[in-house]
Amino acid sequence: EVQLLESGGGLVQPGGSLRLSCAASGFTFSSYAMSWVRQAPGKGLEWVSAISGSGGSTYYADSVKGRFTISRDNSKNTLYLQMNSLRAEDTAVYYCAKVGIAVTYEAFFDYWGQGTLVTVSS
């Protein structure tokens, strides 16, 4: 059974930093790209970042580029999101998601964690 378990959320002051983790199990972690998606309170889903299975390719939304860094440790089956220079508008539930690939190469997010809440406030 695929399981994704996020941790590391909490209250942080504007300008501060936080590192989120996502522990994965139930699949060959290094074979799959992974992604972070966030959802501000009462708002829709916003894609944040993605990383290839090897970790060699990373992608970011313009809203977090230069402030957030996605990484992974395939030996520990863990995905990370380092968040620096946090702003009030970064307040959201952050989900990690496993990226699946169709036989015709379309990508999709087939498994999601339960989410971790990040609150940026003074």
Partner 1 sequence: DIQMTQSPSSLSASVGDRVTITCRASQSISSYLNWYQQKPGKAPKLLIYAASSLQSGVPSRFSGSGSGTDFTLTISSLQPEDFATYYCQQSYSNGYTFGQGTKLDIK
Q: Could you list the residues that contact partner 1 (CB under 8 A)?
A: 35, 37, 44-47, 50, 59, 61-62, 95, 100, 102, 104, 106-110, 112-115
Contact assessment for residue 44 and residue 30, using Cβ atoms and an 8 Å cutoff: no
Shortest Cβ 28–partner 1 spacing (Å) = 18
Shortest Cβ 56–partner 1 spacing (Å) = 14
Q: What is the DSSP string of 46-99?
A: EEEEEE-SSS--EEE-TTTTTTEEEEEETTTTEEEEEE-S--GGG-EEEEEEEE
* Of 108 and 121, CB closest to partner 1: 108
Q: What letter represents residue 121's amino acid?
A: S
* Of 35 and 78, CB closest to partner 1: 35
Shortest Cβ 24–partner 1 spacing (Å) = 14
Selection from 63, 59, 51 nearest residue 24 by Cα? 51
* Of 64 and 83, CB closest to partner 1: 64
Tokens 């708002």 locate to 43
Residue 6, helix vs strand vs coil: strand
Shortest Cβ 120–partner 1 spacing (Å) = 21
* Of 12 and 50, CB closest to partner 1: 50
